[in-house]
Amino acid sequence: MGSLSIKGGRPLNGEVNIQGSKNGALPLLTASLLISGKTVLHNCPRIKDIDAMAQLLKTLGCEITFEKNTITIDATQICDTHCPQKQVQAMRSSIMLLGPLLGRCQSVRMNRPGGCVIGERPTDLHEAALQKMNVRFETAPDTITAYTEKLKGADIYLTFPSVGATENVIMAAVLAEGVTHLKNAAREPEIELLCEFLKRAGAKIRRIGENELEIRGVKCLHEVSMKVMPDRIVAGTYLLAAVATKGQVVLRNAPCRQMDSLIGLLRQMGAGVLADHDILYMDAESAYLPVEYVQTQVYPGFPTDLQSMLLATLTVARGESVLEETIFEDRFKVVPELRNMGADIREEGRRAYIKGVSFLRATHLTAYELRGGAALVIAALAARGESTIDGAHFIERGYENICRDLQCLNAEICLQ
């Protein structure tokens, strides 16, 4: 398990290209099971979670080839619907195999994908929605077994606009008998990408309201190729790193239109931001201001996946900030490590109260999950001196090559 070495204390400067989206690509990989033929995805990030999902699809009978950032999945022969425990429990997104396997094979068996450090990660919304579509579940504490004679369209209301549950319902509905109305659906850009992908493959999906979708089942879907959109969380990570180090950066292939909530915050902090199609310019030389109060929200609000990185950046703002996490119940895991660097953070329930300090101390750190790890990278870049971060494999789950990208921005960072 590698460690990152970071010599911090100087501004980020330069241009960096933004990789394809992890949370955009993963549902497209699972949706490829719905197609008895080939799916080609371009701009697919080469990260551990994509490799793990590809491995899982292979065990189900898919043939998979990678050509740099293009992945081809041939799902003509699906020989199994029992998802292997190792991959499923290593990756929460395995839950998004429910919809496609039920749609293609009418059955699925998997170990219940584990919770993780940020929360219990229940699947009640997925199961309640699919049960309305004529799916029967055999509940057991650690396994999910589901089957259906035939998926049926239904009127479904999600009590919470869960991203994964929305994706599972859409993937189950596209080959179901009849029409599905999905209300209170998630609106994240990754949902739009999945709908675009499925419509290109012949699905009939209509957005009939801000968070309402109508899906008319069809007999089958045909082969499709698609480009994965850039990763808005990776882009946000690098912008927040530039604010923490008071740098000036240019992001190429940035999903600017999906980043309004962050861009608004960056301007509140004193950064100059200019978005021009897929290029984002930011001058954070005088971005010292704190953020009086911000809470994470479902899209288009401030994304929970950027919360830890904002927290790290606010530890060196000039003043007090309040950050509230409303999506996950345990997503301040990175606070103790930031305190070891001299950060002044007080936790009260779902709120973090941050008092900016004039500098952070470089030290030996440990990442325990993906976005907390990215937050430690930001803090280490802002700290004076050399830090090491153990648990780099967590960061590699979502960042194709964080060393390569940050070196483009003149950071002194390398994998040991």
Shorter beta-carbon distance to ligand EPZ: residue 246 or 331? 331
Q: Which stretch binds ligand EPZ (CB under 6 A): 68-76, 147-155, 163-171, 386-394?
A: 163-171
In the chain, % helix, strand, coil (3-state, to 5) comes to 35, 30, 35
Q: Residue 6: how many CB atoms within 10 A of its CB? A: 26
Lookup: tokens for 385: 């001196």
CB 219 to ligand EPZ: min, Å: 29
Pair 353, 219: CB distance under 8 Å: no
- Distance from C-alpha of 114 to C-alpha of 95, rounded to nearest angstrom: 10
- The catalytic residue among 116, 220, 256, 403 is 116
258-262 own/partner pairs: CB under 8 Å, 24+ apart: 258/189, 258/229, 258/232, 259/232, 259/235, 260/300, 261/297, 261/300, 261/301, 261/302, 261/303, 262/236, 262/302, 262/303, 262/306
Q: Is 370 in the site for ligand EPZ (CB under 6 A)?
A: yes
Candidate list 126, 152, 232, 246; residue touching ligand EPZ; CB under 6 A: 126
Candidate list 163, 343, 367, 403; residue touching ligand EPZ; CB under 6 A: 163
Candidate list 58, 121, 132, 355; residue touching ligand EPZ; CB under 6 A: 121
By beta carbon distance, the residue nearest ligand EPZ is 164
Shorter beta-carbon distance to ligand EPZ: residue 233 or 271? 233
Element (H, E) at 214: strand 212-216
Query: What's the Rg (C-alpha) of the chain?
Result: 21
Note the helical H segments in 132-188. Answer: 163-173
Candidate list 11, 99, 103, 164; residue touching ligand EPZ; CB under 6 A: 164
- Output the CA–CA distances (angstroms, integers) from residue 160 to 46, 157, 247, in the order listed: 31, 9, 38
Candidate list 33, 53, 125, 354; residue touching ligand EPZ; CB under 6 A: 125
CB 126 to ligand EPZ: min, Å: 5
The residue to which tokens 């709120």 are assigned: 351
Respond yes or no: is residue 408 known to be catalytic. Answer: no
Residues 327-356 that bind ligand EPZ (CB under 6 A): 327-328
Residue window 2-41: x/- pattern of binding to ligand EPZ, with contact defined by CB under 6 A: --------------------xx--x---------------
Catalytic residue numbers read 116
Chain residues that interact with ligand EPZ, rule: CB under 6 A: 22-23, 26, 92-93, 119, 121-126, 160, 162-165, 304-305, 327-328, 370-371, 398
